[in-house]
């Protein structure tokens, strides 16, 4: 059952958090240089070093949930866990943007800031499709 629409949503979510997050800029620093995810790892604050790990964890969970198609309740639980991880990522990134020095002078954010938000939307759409499948299976079971 890998041909379902939620599989497409989960593949896109996995690609966004596992590949695209490491290729796009997150923001510009005071000197005008582009800050990538690899630059965030070299931060002196431990929370910022966890950001790439959380992106990879989100990608791994998305791929794992794809292969749990026989157990839709585990898929929903996995997606909800992934949504929580992405909200945590979004919170860390927004906090980092709010405390950036020189924020008044420059205010250029990269597309990387919006990746957790896009992943959350895709996971919510996948959960909606999974719940629709679950409802369909229960209605067919009633007819037997």
76-103 tens-digit pLDDT: 999 999 999 999 999 988 887 777 665 5
32 SS3 class: coil
Which residues are CB-contacts of 30 (< 8 A; sequence separation ≥ 6)? 101, 102, 105, 106
CA distance 4 to 125: 12
For the chain, give every domain's residue range: 5-139
CA distance 56 to 86: 11
54-68 tens-digit pLDDT: 999 999 999 999 999
Angle between helices 46-66 and 115-143 (to 10 degrees): 30
CA distance 117 to 14: 13
Percentage of the chain exceeding pLDDT 90: 44
């Amino acid at each position: 059952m890998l041909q379902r629409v939620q599989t497409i949503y989960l593949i896109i979510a996995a690609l966004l958090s596992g590949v695209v997050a490491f290729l796009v800029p997150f923001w510009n620093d005071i000197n005008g240089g582009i800050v990538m995810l690899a630059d965030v790892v070299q931060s002196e604050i431990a929370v910022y070093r966890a950001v790439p790990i959380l992106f990879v964890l989100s990608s791994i969970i998305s791929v794992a949930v794809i292969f749990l198609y026989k157990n839709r309740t585990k898929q929903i639980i996995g997606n909800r866990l992934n949504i929580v991880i992405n909200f945590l990522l979004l919170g860390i990134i927004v906090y980092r943007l709010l405390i950036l020095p020189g924020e008044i002078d420059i205010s250029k954010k990269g597309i990387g800031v919006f990746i957790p938000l896009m992943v959350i939307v895709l996971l919510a759409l996948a959960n909606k499709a999974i719940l629709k499948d679950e409802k369909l299976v229960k209605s067919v079971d009633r007819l037997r």
